[in-house]
Every structure is written in C-alpha cells, then in structure tokens.
Amino acid sequence: MGTRIHPTAVVDPGADLGQDVQIGPMCVIDADVVVGDRTKIDAQARIHAHTRLGTDNHVHSFAFIGGDPQHVKYKGEPTLLEIGDRNLIREYVTLHRGTVGGEGVTRLGSDCLLMAYAHVAHDCVVEDKVIMANAATLGGHVHVGTKAVLGGLCAVHQFARVGAYAFIGGKAGISLDIPPYMIATGTPAKLYGPNVIGLKRQGFTSEAVAGIEKAYKIIWRSGKKRQDAIEEVRQTCPDSSEVAFLLEFLQGTTRGVSADNQLAVNGQDIPLY
C-alpha cells in the first residue's frame, strides 16, 4: 500500500516514517519523531518531537502525543515518550514526555487501549495490555502493571502504583498503591478483594486464584500486623508464583497500600463506609 500522507498534513522532514504509515488531514508531526510501520494517525492528531511510536498503532483524531510535561520545573529539556506496538489511542488522549527529575522518559507498552480523554503524565510507565477508560488520569511517575483496567474518570496520584491485573472502578481516587489482582474503588480507594472473575478470564488456574484469595484474607482480613501477615503467607503459600509476585509488590511500596473495605475486629469483618 505504501505510506500515505494527506496533502494538508504538516510532517517535518526530520520525522522518520516507517512502511505503510497513514497520516490523515491536518495532522502535525514534528522532527525527531519515529512512526513505526503500519501505524495510522487520524485527522488533526498532534505528534510532538522526541516521540517514538512502534508498529501497528492507531492514533485517533485530536490526540496530543509527546507534549511537554506539565511540570513547573520543566525547562525544555529533550526528554522522551516511548510507545510500543498495536496500541489504540482514542480521541483527545494526552501522553506527555518524561522529565529530567524522573528517568527522562514516559513509557507506554504494547496492546493497550486508551479511551477518549485518558491522560498519561510525565515519567509514567504503563505496561502491556492495559485498558484506561474514558478520562482516566495518571499523575506523574505512576506505574501501571500488565493487564490492569482503570475505570472511567478515575485518578491516580503521582508516584502511586497499580499492580498487574488490578481492576479500578470508575471515579476512584487512588492515592496509595493498589496491589496486583485486586479490585479497588471509592475515594479514597479501598480494596474489595481479588478480581476473581477477571483472573479466571485471563487464564489463571483455580489453584492460582485460591492462593491469591488465601493471601488476601491473611494480609487484609486476619487483623494481624502487615509484616506478620506477609510472613504467614510466605509459609502457607510457598509454591505460588502469583502469591510471591503479590508479596514482592507489597514489600516494594513506598507510598503505602490501600486499605481493605472491611475492618477485622475480634475476628469479624466490619464494613468501612
């Protein structure tokens, strides 16, 4: 088919376009932009300098890709935005480059779906197969794990982490880390247990899901101190790679981990509202 650039598009000669790229009407693409093979950029999308797009991406109209970070200390440094392959980036999505105060790069993995008005701020890392629903927003330096789902209008505080396979409800306010596999919603967000249905749909075995549920109950529902509960989980689930991944996430937290929506008192669960 060959690369096709609409006559009204403005593409700097310093942009590196791959094979079979499609550039729609009135797009603007700066120098020092790499657009991978078979990527499609719809009408009036904006791709800023220092952006790297992989193959087979689809950028919809009015998306704003690779803009300057929204940070008061940013002074025009040539930081990067790196985007993987086969991503679907819908209307009015904003993805900003990194800052020198971070690692200097914002990263979006492959096979992600960013719905309209989603925002990925400076220095974020969004791993593969993540779904961000409409107007989901990431503050700076947020890390989102593989196959996490972020509901519409949710907001994640800077430096917070959302673990792999987590499911965040719409309009949630995430100020602390959300562990892998968990459902969370509310403002501030509370945990509502493992995403059992979602995990099974993703091919997790019954044994793996049972191990995650057991770990969750010990850590969040036993009423024990967090570190004591983690040690108990290590002893009772020594062969579960999924549980080991969960514990590694908990041990790596710097902001703290969101609380459960229940409070264990004298062995009984009391809802928190």
Which helix or strand (DSSP H or E) is residue 271 part of? Answer: strand 268-271
Q: Are residues 124 and 54 in the same domain?
A: yes
Identify whether 69 is part of a domain. yes
Residue that terminates a domain, selected from 141, 156, 172: 141
- Please give the residue range of the domain that contains residue 24: 4-141
**Residue 10 is assigned to a structural domain of this protein:** yes
Q: Are residues 47 and 114 in the same domain?
A: yes
Rounded-to-10 torsion of CA 237, 240, 245, 248: 30
Tokens 């993987």 appear where? Answer: 84
**Residue 11 is encoded by which pair of tokens?**
């593409």
The least confident of 85-89, 91-95, 122-126, 235-239 is 235-239
Considering the domain boundaries, does residue 95 fall inside one? yes
42 within domain boundaries: yes
Assess whether 94 and 19 both reside in one domain.
yes
How many angstroms separate the Cα of 115 from the Cα of each of 140, 186, 199, 261, 262?
Answer: 19, 21, 22, 28, 32
pLDDT in tens, 128-162: 999 999 999 999 999 999 999 999 999 999 999 99
Does 222 share its domain with 101? no
**Confidence at residue 262, expressed as pLDDT on a 0 to 100 scale:** 75
Secondary structure class of 191 (helix, strand, coil): strand
Average pLDDT over residues 69-89: 97
Residue 137 is part of a domain; what is its CATH number?
A: 2.160.10.10
> Is 122 noted as a catalytic residue in this protein?
yes
157 annotated active-site: no
Domain count, the chain: 2
Domain termination residue (choose one: 96, 113, 141): 141
Distance CA 107, CA 8 (A): 30
Do 124 and 23 sit in the same domain of this protein?
Answer: yes
**Boundary-marking domain end, from 141, 164, 186:** 141
Q: List the catalytic residue out of 123, 139, 141, 145.
A: 123
CA gap 242, 268 in Å, rounded: 27
Q: Are the beta carbons of 199 and 181 closer than 8 angstroms?
A: yes
Indicate if 123 and 211 belong to the same structural domain. Answer: no
The pTM (predicted TM-score) of the whole model is 0.95
Catalytic residue among 50, 60, 119, 122: 122
Residue 264, pLDDT above cutoff 90: no
CA distances to 17, 108, 260 from 128, rounded to whole Å, are: 23, 8, 27
Residue 130 lies in a domain: yes
Domain co-membership, 64 together with 137: yes
- The reply to whether 27 and 137 lie within a common domain is yes
Strand partners, 4: 22
Q: Determine whether 109 is an active site residue.
A: no
The one catalytic residue among 98, 109, 140, 152: 140
Within a domain: 147: no
Q: What CATH number is associated with residue 231? A: 1.20.1180.10
> In whole angstroms, what is the distance from residue 108 CA to residue 53 CA?
10
Provide the CA 182 distance to its chain's centre, in angstroms: 15
pLDDT at 234: 95
For the beta carbon of residue 248, count every other beta carbon within 10 angstroms: 10
